[in-house]
């Protein structure tokens, strides 16, 4: 495939992302994008991309984009034989749980998550021993092993609804301590938390938010609920990545800050060129392991296939499906 041909074929895609990708960088991406689009057809594959993927992945090769909940839902509907998960490992596991008969690929096996790795299945069993009879609500940012020990899953978008759906006065909520504290502030249900943190969101501080307000008068500040509670208190709005994206589309703030992973503002800004994005952000090193060359290689070699022990998968699937039914 000649480089010139790849450039010609991908030219319409570049028009979409030219506000966030300089022209000098595009030739580096064009060949991989052209090859990936051809591979998707020949492999009957779809690419599911999280909101934290870089724009050349998010806007140029992905078939389905969104937050963890959206990807889990769409993974269920995907009728392709192969799913490539452009995101981190627990997301690929969730896609596999919901599509046991399909081939699910993750382009880099090392794409992990500080939150997911903060807790093990044995830890969940210990929490249950310590709090007998208290249901366990587990954030989808967790391994299949941990989901299998849980009563139900939640995402940052539906956590309050899930906690309140159980009809108990206390729940155990794992593994994100700040998400648990932020939900506890909004519900009468008592929440027992685990001390796991997202290494991207835990770094935002209230002082940083106050400085943004001073430096950019009138700015609208949106925060992800994995941020510490003192950051949430200073923000104008709290929501999942999809909620933030919808907020920008709905409210069209003149100037906005998204307190979340760096690529999110790039991806949202492509669809809202009239909005001015202030971009203080923290990079997720795990998400950034997924690149176009790795997606291409994943489809060429059909690696790395995600496998989960069927008995464990059945238990983990029950927790995810129970969430999707709420």
User: Where do contacts with ligand SF4 occur on this chain (CB under 6 A)?
Assistant: 88, 113-115, 141, 198-200, 261, 284, 286-287
Q: Is 259 helix (H, G, I), strand (E, B) or coil?
A: strand
- The least CB distance from residue 106 to ligand SF4, in Å, is 12
DSSP per residue, 23-34 = TTTHHHHHHHHH
Residue 185 or residue 283: which is nearer to ligand SF4 going by CB? 283
Q: How far apart are CA 89 and CA 152, in angstroms?
A: 19
Kindly list the strands in the beta sheet with 82-86, ordered across the sheet, starting from the edge strand earlier in the chain.
Answer: 64-66, 45-50, 82-86, 103-105
Compute how many other C-beta atoms are within 10 angstroms of the C-beta atom of residue 132: 6
What Rg do the C-alpha atoms of the chain give, in angstroms? 20
- The least CB distance from residue 68 to ligand SF4, in Å, is 8
H helix intervals, the chain: 3-17, 26-43, 55-58, 68-77, 89-98, 121-130, 144-148, 159-165, 177-184, 206-215, 229-234, 241-251, 262-271, 292-301, 310-325
- The least CB distance from residue 202 to ligand SF4, in Å, is 9
- The least CB distance from residue 155 to ligand SF4, in Å, is 11
Residue 162 or residue 262: which is nearer to ligand SF4 going by CB? 262
- The least CB distance from residue 198 to ligand SF4, in Å, is 3
Residue 34 or residue 202: which is nearer to ligand SF4 going by CB? 202
Residue 86 or residue 200: which is nearer to ligand SF4 going by CB? 200
Q: Which of 213, 212, 227 is closest to 282 using CA atoms?
A: 227
Residue 29 or residue 90: which is nearer to ligand SF4 going by CB? 90
- The least CB distance from residue 116 to ligand SF4, in Å, is 6
Beta carbons of 85 and 98 less than 8 angstroms apart: no
Residue 158 or residue 170: which is nearer to ligand SF4 going by CB? 158
């Amino acid at each position: 495939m000649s480089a010139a041909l790849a450039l010609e074929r991908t030219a319409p895609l570049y028009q979409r992302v030219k506000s966030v990708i300089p022209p000098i960088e595009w030739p580096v991406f064009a060949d991989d994008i052209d090859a990936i689009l051809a591979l998707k057809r020949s492999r009957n594959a779809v690419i599911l991309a999280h909101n934290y993927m870089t724009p050349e992945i998010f806007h140029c090769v992905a078939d389905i984009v969104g937050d963890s909940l959206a990807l889990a839902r769409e993974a269920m509907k995907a009728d392709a034989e192969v799913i490539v998960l452009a995101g981190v490992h627990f997301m690929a596991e969730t896609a596999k749980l919901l599509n046991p008969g399909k081939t699910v690929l993750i382009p880099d096996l090392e794409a992990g998550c500080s939150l997911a790795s903060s807790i093990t299945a044995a830890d969940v069993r210990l929490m249950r021993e310590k709090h007998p009879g208290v249901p366990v609500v587990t954030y989808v940012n967790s391994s299949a092993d941990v989901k299998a020990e849980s009563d139900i899953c939640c995402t940052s978008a539906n956590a309050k609804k899930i906690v309140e759906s159980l009809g108990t006065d206390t729940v155990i909520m794992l593994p994100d301590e700040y998400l648990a504290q932020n939900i506890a502030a909004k519900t009468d249900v008592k929440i027992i938390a685990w001390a796991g943190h997202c290494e991207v969101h835990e770094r935002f501080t209230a002082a940083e938010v106050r400085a943004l307000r001073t430096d950019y008068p009138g700015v609208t500040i949106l925060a992800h609920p994995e941020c510490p509670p003192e950051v949430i208190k200073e923000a104008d709005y709290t929501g999942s990545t999809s909620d933030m994206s919808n907020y920008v589309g709905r409210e069209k703030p003149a100037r906005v800050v998204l307190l979340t992973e760096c690529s999110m503002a790039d991806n949202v800004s492509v669809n809202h060129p009239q909005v001015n994005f202030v971009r203080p952000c923290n990079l997720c090193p795990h998400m950034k392991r997924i690149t176009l060359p790795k997606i291409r290689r994943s489809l060429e070699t059909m690696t790395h296939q995600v496998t989960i022990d069927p008995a464990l998968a059945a238990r983990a699937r029950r927790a995810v499906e129970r969430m999707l039914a709420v």
